Chains A and B, each alone.
Chain A
Amino acid sequence: MTNLEELRNKPLEELLSLAWKLRKSNFEDVLFVSAPSAKRYEIAGFKNSPRSFVNVSVTGSACALRCEHCGGKLLESMLSVESEEELVALGKRLVEMGAEGVLISGGATREGSVPLRGFEHAMAELRRMGLRVIVHSGLVNEEDARSLKRAGVEQVLLDIIGDEATIKEVYHLNKTPADYARALEHLKREGLSIAPHIVVGLHRGEIRGEYEALRMITQAKPEAIVVVVLSPLYGTRFEGVAPPPPEEVAKLVAVARILNPKVRLNLGCAKPAKDKAEIETLAIDAGINTVAYPSEEALKHAEERGLELRFSELCCTLV
């Protein structure tokens, strides 16, 4: 593996230049635009549908961790199910409405996992109905990974944190980065497709464990890598926290591209609104493949750089 520390210390311009070359040589000249139903997206002549790809919480708004940056807020906008029967019934309604798939998520247990095992049969049923099913798993053990495999989920999404203090102070979780590395191993061992996420600036806007997370992810050989950016939410303990500078986000994206030249690299849903256009524009220069809900400025920039735009209503990891 190219020395990560060495790369990290290079100037941004140099990293962007190298990352762009790698993108050009390994991928077609396309920027994929992902706009699933979690947000209404209407831009550049494209409008998504409110039921094409929905987020479902298996815990309602309950979460044992109440992380500093979220406080359960992200669960509030999801559809809620409390039992396998409810999930199957929801799946049927979604199929009738022409939905393509679901992201099954939920609040975490004290151990940092989303309690998906109790929904194994329902998720398998959703797959039989023809829906695409991806999950937010949180930390998983071997049995969790086997259960996801039996359910036939198409992809597993989980945040990877590379700094112990961040895990304890932000996630309120008594775990270490090694636990996240093990979760990736369990999922890969079951042959599951993984799309790990790095949250840039998770430690009150500081860059702490992001590069360690990238190292762990690179080692796991994922199908896709998703970079998201701390977006301080109204009503959480992080309200008022300054998000990381766009240049720091771009640097991480560029290093991720250089270390993973052939892996799909996505800029996910979470981005601070004020810096969004700058982050997206720089991420395009850093060789990103897909951007979720991009700004008009980013779309224009992509076209100026010779990228064709392709819109999708799927989650960014499935595009």
Chain B
Amino acid sequence: MELKAEQVLKVGEYEFPLDRLYYRGRNAHIWVKREGEAVLLGIDAFLAESAGYLNYISVTAEELTRGEAFANIESAKFVSKLYSPVSGRVVEVNSEVMENPRLVNQSPYEAWIVKVKPRSEAELGHEELLGESEAIAAWIEEEIARLEEE
């Protein structure tokens, strides 16, 4: 569903739809979107852009622990891991994205990586999950400054 302009936060050149949460823990840049009793996890526009075209994603865990790695990614500029914003169980892996990781660069907010059943509702309420525009903007501005410094 197309979001209205006011439902999308723009920070620098990056867009952040406000229909989901953003995990700032471990500078993970993972978005979390509710889908029924489960949540979808994906990579935000900041990470998708700064990593460059992804060549590879592999999901490495079935049981997720908040703050722990759940996938490996590789691009021309990155060899790194993705860190989970929630504890819970993976109920589905997006095979289309596994097959063609560039979908993440093309549409970061549609190309989800895993669907997860969180261990409890509290998993979606911790302070490192950001949903308010001001908090997301402040964090991303810090991240842009860090990137420019590098």
Interface string of A17-55 (1 = CB under 8 A from B): 000000000000000000100111111000000110000
A174 proximal to B (CB < 8 A): no
Which partner residue on chain A sits nearest B78 by CB separation? Answer: A40
Check A41 against B80 for contact (C-beta < 8 Å): yes
> Assuming A273-B56, A273-B74, A295-B72, is B102 touching A234 (CB within 8 A)?
yes
How distant is A50 from chain B, measured CB to nearest CB, in Å? 4
Interface string of B38-79 (1 = CB under 8 A from A): 000000000000001101100010000000000010101111
Check B76 against A293 for contact (C-beta < 8 Å): no
Chain B residues within an 8 Å CB radius of A39: 76-79
Chain A residues within an 8 Å CB radius of B53: 234
Check A50 against B80 for contact (C-beta < 8 Å): no
How distant is A65 from chain B, measured CB to nearest CB, in Å? 20
Chain A residues within an 8 Å CB radius of B6: none
A276 proximal to B (CB < 8 A): yes
B13 proximal to A (CB < 8 A): no
How many Cβ-Cβ contacts under 8 Å join chain A to chain B? 40
How distant is A218 from chain B, measured CB to nearest CB, in Å? 31
B81 proximal to A (CB < 8 A): yes
How distant is A105 from chain B, measured CB to nearest CB, in Å? 15
Contact residue among A43, A77, A274 (Cβ-Cβ distance under 8 Å from B77):
A77
> Assuming A50-B150, A273-B56, A274-B56, is B79 touching A43 (CB within 8 A)?
yes
Interface string of A232-253 (1 = CB under 8 A from B): 0010000000000000000000
How distant is A187 from chain B, measured CB to nearest CB, in Å? 29
Which partner residue on chain A sits nearest B149 by CB separation? Answer: A50
How distant is A201 from chain B, measured CB to nearest CB, in Å? 16
Check B79 against A42 for contact (C-beta < 8 Å): yes
Which partner residue on chain A sits nearest B57 by CB separation? Answer: A273
Q: For the complex, would chain A's binding face be called helix, strand, loop or mixed by DSSP majority?
A: loop
Check B74 against A42 for contact (C-beta < 8 Å): no
A86 proximal to B (CB < 8 A): no
Query: In whole angstroms, what is the CA distance A296 to B80 when docked?
Result: 10
The tally of residues in A whose CB lies under 8 Å from a CB in B reads 19
Which partner residue on chain B sits nearest A38 by CB separation? Answer: B77
Check B80 against A42 for contact (C-beta < 8 Å): yes
> Assuming A50-B150, A273-B56, A274-B56, is B76 touching A77 (CB within 8 A)?
yes
Interface string of A259-300 (1 = CB under 8 A from B): 000000000000011101000000000000000010110000
How distant is B10 from chain A, measured CB to nearest CB, in Å? 25
Query: In whole angstroms, what is the CA distance A274 to B72 when docked?
Result: 11
Chain B residues within an 8 Å CB radius of A272: 55
How distant is A77 from chain B, measured CB to nearest CB, in Å? 6
Check A42 against B81 for contact (C-beta < 8 Å): yes
How distant is B61 from chain A, measured CB to nearest CB, in Å? 12
Check A40 against B80 for contact (C-beta < 8 Å): yes
Query: In whole angstroms, what is the CA distance A38 to B52 when docked?
Result: 12
Check B79 against A41 for contact (C-beta < 8 Å): yes
Chain B residues within an 8 Å CB radius of A42: 79-81
Query: In whole angstroms, what is the CA distance A295 to B77 when docked?
Result: 15
Chain B residues within an 8 Å CB radius of A43: 79-81
Chain B residues within an 8 Å CB radius of A234: 53, 102
How distant is A236 from chain B, measured CB to nearest CB, in Å? 12
Query: In whole angstroms, what is the CA distance A273 to B79 when docked?
Result: 10
Chain B residues within an 8 Å CB radius of A231: 55
Query: In whole angstroms, what is the CA distance A276 to B74 when docked?
Result: 10
Interface residues of B (CB under 8 A from A): 52-53, 55-56, 60, 72, 74, 76-81, 102, 150
Q: A51-B150, A273-B74 are in contact. List 15 more A-B contacts (CB 8 A).
A: A35-B79, A38-B77, A39-B77, A39-B78, A39-B79, A40-B77, A42-B80, A42-B81, A43-B79, A77-B77, A231-B55, A272-B55, A274-B55, A276-B56, A296-B60
**Could you give 20 example pairs across A and B, Cβ below 8 Å?**
A39-B76, A39-B77, A39-B78, A40-B78, A41-B78, A41-B80, A42-B79, A43-B79, A43-B80, A43-B81, A51-B150, A77-B52, A231-B55, A234-B53, A273-B55, A273-B74, A274-B55, A276-B56, A295-B79, A296-B60
